[in-house]
Structure 1
Amino acid sequence: MSEDTANGVRNSASHNVKENSRIIRVGTRKSQLAQTQTGSVVNMLKEQYPHAQLEVVAMTTTGDKILDTALSKIGEKSLFTKELETALEKNEVDLVVHSLKDLPTTLPPGFTVGAICKREIPYDAVVVHPNNVGKTLDMLAERSVIGTSSLRRAAQLKRRFPHLEFKDIRGNLNTRLKKLDEKDDYSAIVLAAAGLRRMGWENRISQILEPEDCMYAVSQGALGVEVRVNDPDILEMVSVLNDTETVLRCIAERSFMKQLLYLTGAVYSLDGSDSLKDTMQTSVSTQTQDEDCSVADVQHVGITAKRIPHNSQAAAEKLGMDLANLLLSKGAKDILTVARQLNDSR
């Protein structure tokens, strides 16, 4: 595609949006956090396209309905995306806003992540029971119960805080906070700091967990906008939301997870007693180059990031794969195999 042709496609897409030629329907989960996150994306789009007609469509997903089973037992990926993607496939919505960490690294045919917004703080946060206000995890009493729905968090925190016990907790953000506050089942719970900050509940955070204590999930803190591959108008429209540094970091993280099939930067046994951790880096250019961005759209771990150099995206993807292969060469596969077998037998 020539530069003139590429510019023509971009101008045509922008024209269609600006001239109100269609109502843009934005899919989201019904939870308060999901709708707050979607509202922020809608507002950013309205700033760029003030005449666009945007309509939010909220729906309930499988992950929202199944609350009595640990996520690790039913598969953590696609639980919160399947119904939304079905609506996207049926043209009932035109784009879907996700917490990117909920999206599998391989998307169904015909879908892509068309934009990744600037990342909020990616770290995990500790929220304590009202009786423990002001305390951090290392200050809690022996055998205090910590609630988390994530095997990633439990495995790492068991290793770092062996005096604590970890118990599954399900539900949306509001539900988990209510379970913590109104009962005595948990001394604290661990949540993504990004969600608490987006809801304006920073005052509930007692401790931010640095990566040395608990490495955050792949793409945690980033919002992804999923679209149909064959809808160039919408793909071009949402591309204005892309934050270059966030996109490249998330490509590297998702590539790592896709190659390794588990955690970012490290793998852990379920009880935290066995682990492998390593660091790898590369140099990429974040400078947008016209000739590079005119290349036909290419997906990197399910992401189609217009306006960001393709060679930089490829370098980020390779970094994730190389780090995963390094850990696999050191024995990560054995740790993961045992962890999966133990989880399946629980």
Structure 2
Amino acid sequence: MTKQPSTISTLTIATRQSPLALWQAEHIRDRLLELYPDLTIHLLKIVTKGDKILDTPLAKIGGKGLFVKELEQAMYDKTADIAVHSLKDVPMVLPKGLMLGAYCERAAPTDAFVSNNYNSLDELPNGAVVGTSSLRRQCQIKHYRPDLQIKTLRGNVGTRLSKLDAGDYDAIILATSGLQRIHLDERIKGELDIEVSLPAVGQGALAIECREGDEAVLKLLAPLNDDQARIRLIAERALNRHLEGGCQVPIAAFAVLENENENNSNSENNSNNNQTLWLRGRVGQADGSVLLKAEKRITLQGSQADKESQANQLGIDVAEQLLAKGAGEILAAIYHDNDH
């Protein structure tokens, strides 16, 4: 049955111009058009600062928030109504007046191993060069294989793959979901085991940002919310927020609903049952010499709002475990280095 938006006839989506960002925006556009066939949707394509500065590690120039600021400005200016983001790129604290209006169903959260000559991280020879732009990936891979050389790798997916093909790297690490979304599955030699590389906060999930109080837009987006993914993502983001971590820091967090119905995550029976939420978190030195780990399980009870509150507290609890083990000192040193 077609749903009818109450007052909106036209919607503008702000998006970056990379192939992956455009896929994400077009995916949300198509889902909305399935729900509201009479809605007119425009894409506002924007080049962000993060897209322009490609020769400097993200941590040195302000982190992944550089990929969303211009999109957010478009919403402030009311030239756009919503922005579609890969959630792992969204800062932990949103600007005043903006909110995440929908957490969409989560795709593969893992890191992908991509190489033309080797099938896995374990197959790489001593001293092999691995490309990544992520301190999180770097610290975990160096912890697992201290002999490997990590070189910074920036640019969109196509640019990164071309640098691999040119022989600049023996392997590169990318998000599995990103490669799958733009139909480059054949480049994935394998997914890194979560025990080796715990995912980034929100990896694999799309989120839709909008203006606070824009009830017509929120009503429009409501059917795109995935309640199960939302609970998991709230826990992960709460951990990162409590650590005062940005998007470009060596922090990993991954939450699982252990009795989640994978085939129908919003099924009525599943949402009414008590569920166990398991959150794992890690903070490490960029060189891999230290990798702190913490985890906790809780049983979720009550309404969706109750469960979201419990998930938020779980994130804080696991963050506190990491702080007790010395995470604060590690992160403070990294922030100090990035400021100089």
Q: TM-score, normalised by structure 1?
A: 0.85
Alpha-carbon separation, structure 2, partners of 1:283 and 1:38: 35
Residue matched to 1:301: none
Residue matched to 1:247: 230
Query: What pairs up with 1:110-121 in 2 under 5 angstroms?
Result: 110-121=97-108
Q: Establish whether residue 60 from structure 1 lines up as the match of residue 44 from structure 2.
A: no
Alpha-carbon separation, structure 1, partners of 2:305 and 2:319: 21
Shift, 1:340, TM fit = 3.6
The alignment partner of 1:178 has SS state of helix
The 1:319–1:77 alpha-carbon spacing in structure 2 relative to 1, beyond 3 Å, is same
Letter in 2 for 1:337: A
Shift, 1:343, TM fit = 5.0
Query: What pairs up with 1:125-164 in 2 under 5 angstroms?
Result: 125-128=112-115, 130=116, 132=117, 134-164=118-148
| Contact 2:146-2:288 at 8 Å conserved across structures | no
Query: What pairs up with 1:249-288 in 2 under 5 angstroms?
Result: 249-262=232-245, 263=251, 264=253, 265-285=281-301
Q: Establish whether residue 43 from structure 1 lines up as the match of residue 59 from structure 2.
A: no
Alpha-carbon separation, structure 1, partners of 2:109 and 2:244: 20
Q: Establish whether residue 336 from structure 1 lines up as the match of residue 327 from structure 2.
A: no
Shift, 1:227, TM fit = 0.3
Aligned partner of 2:214 among 217, 231, 235: 231
Q: Establish whether residue 15 from structure 1 lines up as the match of residue 31 from structure 2.
A: no
Letter in 2 for 1:48: L
The alignment partner of 2:64 has SS state of coil
Q: Establish whether residue 194 from structure 1 lines up as the match of residue 185 from structure 2.
A: no
Residue matched to 1:170: 154
The alignment partner of 1:311 has SS state of helix
| Contact 2:296-2:318 at 8 Å conserved across structures | yes
Unaligned runs of 5+ in 2: 246-250, 254-280
Unaligned runs of 5+ in 1: 1-10, 290-308
Alpha-carbon separation, structure 2, partners of 1:336 and 1:86: 29
**Greater C-alpha Rg:** 1
Q: Among all aligned residue pairs of Structure 1 and Structure 2, give the percentage whose two residues are the same amino acid.
A: 42
The 1:204–1:24 alpha-carbon spacing in structure 2 relative to 1, beyond 3 Å, is same
| Contact 1:61-1:81 at 8 Å conserved across structures | yes
Q: TM-score, normalised by structure 2?
A: 0.86
Aligned partner of 1:316 among 311, 322, 325: 311
Shift, 1:344, TM fit = 5.0
Shift, 1:342, TM fit = 4.7
| Contact 1:24-1:55 at 8 Å conserved across structures | yes
The 1:342–1:26 alpha-carbon spacing in structure 2 relative to 1, beyond 3 Å, is closer
More strand by share: 2
Alpha-carbon separation, structure 2, partners of 1:24 and 1:343: 39
Alpha-carbon separation, structure 2, partners of 1:14 and 1:341: 48
| Contact 1:274-1:335 at 8 Å conserved across structures | no
Equivalent pairs counted in the alignment come to 305
